[in-house]
Structure 1
Amino acid sequence: MGEAPDARRNDESLHRDFNTVWGHHMVTDSTGQWTSLLSEHWGPTARALRRIQTGLSDSVVCEVEFAEKRYCLKGTPDTYSSTRLRWIHGLRRHACELGLDWIPDPVRTKRGDTCAQGAGMIWELSPWMSGAPLTDVSQGQCRNAMRALAQLHTAWRIPQRGPAEVVRERLEFARQCVSLTREVAWERLAAENSHYSWAQDVREVVAQSSLRMEMVIQQLVEWCDREVPLQPVLRDIWADHMLFEGDDVRGILDFHAVRVGTVTSDIGRLLASWRLPDGVQWAKALEWYGEIRPLESDEVAFVYMLDDAARVLTPWVWLRWILLEKRQFASMEKMNNRVAWSFQRFLRDK
């Protein structure tokens, strides 16, 4: 599978939601630029082509139809490392070779590469994955998703152990958040942004954060040097990035955040993004995952610890991005929903 290149540059701005496209407005291509790019690098002439409005990212996603098949053409700003993208493509191809047909296998260009550059973007072409994302999952869907995730992690498994970098990253951010709670006039900022549905909850989030942040810091410090199995993981797997038809998993999307880390972050992130059916607790979901890839006792504890940290820290990611840095997103509605969801998780008991 090869060694992972440096995955830390531009992660936050580049890996979010690039394939969260189902149900969004489609804009018919009128310039022919995407058709020309396809012809130059992949050869086939597109019979129909539409650009799709994505959720939060600045990537370009197009649906391509040719030879009676559908494909996804995706462009990512060329500040993203092409070396890293090829490494990720190698991981995807390896999974496909092992029979994981719900992983999109990149189509090689005429030169035999899996990506091409043009118009300030890095482009890739992959089969269009059928199915739809869900927020409310059934028992069968949850079971099959956990098993699919475990199959992918098994395909990418490597003999490596060490401290998980995600712990140090979250610890650093938590300490920054402690300062932010004291130094920023959050009530004023919330009042200035009252058009957001979640603005009314900013005061309560900030008020609860001081004590909860210290508890998170204590937990993270305890885990900083603890060694766990390490391997390539998705890091941005959540409800919108897993597609279902009935109970079956039909696709996993968005691989641009992949780097070496702990499988526990993928497990917790996916479970936290769903509303699970009655009678299904996280312990049961971990049991289903473990039927394919057994978890060590430390890994099970790590799933819960990382989720405890994420529950407290995620609202602060959004507060910093939106109220302090004034970031803009392709879909303000999707952004608003994501923030509201993170606030709800923070303010309710687990």
Structure 2
Amino acid sequence: MTPATTNFYYEGPHRSESTAKEWDLSSRLETTDPANQARRVLAEFPPKYQPESLRLIDRQGFSGAQIFQVKTSIGDFALRAWPSNGPEIQRLRALHRLLSHIFSRGVENIPVPILSSQSSSVVEMFARHWQLEPWMPGKSTFHDNPSDARLVDVMKCLASWHNAAADFSEAKCFETKQGESPGIVARAEQLKKLKSSLSRRLDVKRMNAPQDFVLVVNDTLQQFELLADKIARQLTFASNLQVRCQPCIRDIWHDNLLFTEDRLTGIVDFGAAMSDNIAIDLARCLGSLLGDDKSRWDTAINQYQQLRQLSNDELTLIEVFDQANVLLSGTTWIFRFLNGEQQLASDKRVIDRMQMFLDRMKQLPT
């Protein structure tokens, strides 16, 4: 009897064992190639989505997702492969229903995932979750042209997104309810862990790493020591505020906002979305776009309130979120380095972002 394992290699009655092994190796190499994996995944979608060309995007965000630009006969699409430690499939499906709900309410500059031939918005293959979505036009160029028109469009879109999301009720992770802000509570706990971990500062000073990384680490730790207790108190106070929590993006920042001239034509990467207070989005967005330009912060928040009013507690949370983000973002990279991610010390993107947060830390009141 022919062994069952031979069926995997079988292409004819006279294939030798050595040829079968060579074919198996070739097949395995083929299916580990990112482009071939992408084509296999795209085969799960209707014919009109099959690629005429496929391009792996060089720039990867900090989420670890892998993105392909897919050109088809009906237009361009993005195929996103979430990292193996990315969102669970049930949360992804709930997120896709949320995006579809928001799109149906008139917010059309977001990518709603496309259903496969099996009527699923998520394809499970190669130990990852994949989704196909429209390719959003524009580029993340706000800092190149930080015009008021662009800022106004971002605020209008964000307020509209929040208004549309507020009546979504199909998943517990995106429920709308009154309570403490999960983001504030999480930051309070994160700060507590960082204070304990970063007490190993002498280890950092003696670390074997590029000099530019060492310099920004030491300066960041000095600022952290000056600011940590004050911001911890702010987070403790803010964690007691009872506010409205609803679906929020939670990672809406400069690089995820795509512009065509002065119009916001795309918002991408909703993998962090979850229920929280809308202050988390305003702080994340405006902090990344405007830094410490408080007059423009006021302009932006006033524009947002043309469509969605903010309570006094929400205005308080915006400031607390922003200051906590500034403190935690730079020091989190150090925490990750200390816990084994040594490659961060040579990543220019990481060093540049740490320097940006360090510059903002120096502007915070002590």
* TM-score (normalised: structure 2): 0.81
Name the CA distance, whole Å, in 2 between partners of 1:201 and 1:347: 12
Give the one of 71, 82, 91 matched to 2:77.
71
Other structure's SS at 1:161 match: strand
Other structure's SS at 1:265 match: helix
Deviations 1:277-335 (A, max 9, x none): 98942111110111111111111111011111222222111111124432546x93322
Question: CA 1:253–1:207 in 2, change beyond 3 Å: closer, same or farther?
Answer: same
Name the CA distance, whole Å, in 1 between partners of 2:70 and 2:242: 44
Higher relative contact order (CA 8 A, sep 6+): 1
**Cα offset, 1:337, TM superposition:** 2.1
Comparing 172-181 with 309-318, which one deviates more in the overlay? Answer: 172-181
Give the one of 163, 167, 186 matched to 2:180.
163
Question: CA 1:202–1:278 in 2, change beyond 3 Å: closer, same or farther?
Answer: closer
Name the CA distance, whole Å, in 2 between partners of 1:204 and 1:73: 40
Query: Does the 8 Å CA contact 1:61/1:72 hold for their aligned counterparts?
Result: yes
Query: Does the 8 Å CA contact 2:216/2:351 hold for their aligned counterparts?
Result: no
Name the CA distance, whole Å, in 2 between partners of 1:103 and 1:145: 13
Question: CA 1:52–1:217 in 2, change beyond 3 Å: closer, same or farther?
Answer: same
Alignment gaps of 5+ in structure 2: 1-32, 168-175
Q: As a proportion of its length, which structure holds more helix?
A: 2
Name the CA distance, whole Å, in 2 between partners of 1:31 and 1:90: 28
**Cα offset, 1:177, TM superposition:** 2.3
Name the CA distance, whole Å, in 2 between partners of 1:68 and 1:192: 52
Deviations 1:151-201 (A, max 9, x none): 101111145110011121111121222223433325524x52234x34313
Alignment gaps of 5+ in structure 1: 1-28
1:124-273 to structure 2, matched below 5 A, reads: 124-136=131-143, 137-158=146-167, 159-185=176-202, 187-189=204-206, 192-195=208-211, 197-273=212-288
Deviations 1:124-165 (A, max 9, x none): 100000001124221111111011111101111145110011
Matched, 1:38 2:42: yes
Query: Does the 8 Å CA contact 1:181/1:210 hold for their aligned counterparts?
Result: no
Query: Does the 8 Å CA contact 1:205/1:347 hold for their aligned counterparts?
Result: no
Matched, 1:100 2:104: no
Count of residues in correspondence between the two structures: 319
Give the one of 320, 330, 340 matched to 2:335.
320
Name the CA distance, whole Å, in 1 between partners of 2:199 and 2:51: 55
Q: Which amino acid aligns with 1:156?
A: A
Name the CA distance, whole Å, in 2 between partners of 1:87 and 1:55: 22
Question: CA 1:67–1:258 in 2, change beyond 3 Å: closer, same or farther?
Answer: same
Q: Which amino acid aligns with 2:254?
A: A
Comparing 273-282 with 249-258, which one deviates more in the overlay? Answer: 273-282
1:80-99 to structure 2, matched below 5 A, reads: 80-99=87-106
Other structure's SS at 1:55 match: coil
Name the CA distance, whole Å, in 1 between partners of 2:35 and 2:258: 31
* TM-score (normalised: structure 1): 0.84
Name the CA distance, whole Å, in 2 between partners of 1:328 and 1:125: 31
CA RMSD of aligned residues (A): 2.3
**Cα offset, 1:209, TM superposition:** 2.1
Report the counterpart of residue 319 of structure 2 in structure 1.
304
Query: Does the 8 Å CA contact 1:51/1:61 hold for their aligned counterparts?
Result: yes
